Amino acid sequence: MFTGIVSDIGEVLRVEARASGKSFRIGCAYDAETIALGASISCAGCCLTVTEAGRTSENDKPFYFDVDVSTESLDKTTAKSWAVGTCLNLERALKMGDELGGHMVSGHVDGVATIVSRADDADMSVFWFEVPAEFAKFIASKGSVALDGTSLTVNQVDGNRFCVMIIPHTQKMTTWGRVRQSDTVNFEVDLMARYVARLHE
Q: Give the tens place of pLDDT for each residue, 10-54.
A: 999 999 999 999 999 999 999 999 999 999 999 999 999 999 999
**Alpha-carbon distances, residue 53 vs 6, 67, 126 (angstroms):** 20, 9, 37
CATH number of 111-199: 2.40.30.20
- Is the model's pLDDT at 75 over the cut of 80? yes
Cα–Cα distance, 106 to 131 (Å, whole number): 19
- Per-residue pLDDT band for 199 (boundaries 50, 70, 90) equals low
Cα–Cα distance, 114 to 19 (Å, whole number): 29
- Higher-confidence residue: 100 or 183? 183
- Calculate mean pLDDT across residues 71-98: 92
- Calculate mean pLDDT across residues 101-107: 83
DSSP string, 77-102: SGGGG--TT-EEEEEEPP-TT----S
Q: What is the pLDDT of residue 60?
A: 86
The average confidence (pLDDT) of the chain is 93
- Calculate mean pLDDT across residues 146-167: 96
- Calculate mean pLDDT across residues 93-115: 85
- The helix or strand, by DSSP H or E, that contains position 81, with its residue range, turns out to be none
Cα–Cα distance, 131 to 184 (Å, whole number): 10
- By three-state DSSP, how is residue 33 classified? helix
* CATH 2.40.30.20 assigned to 8-92: yes
Confirm whether 8-92 and 111-199 share one CATH topology.
yes
Domain chopping of the chain, boundaries:
8-92, 111-199
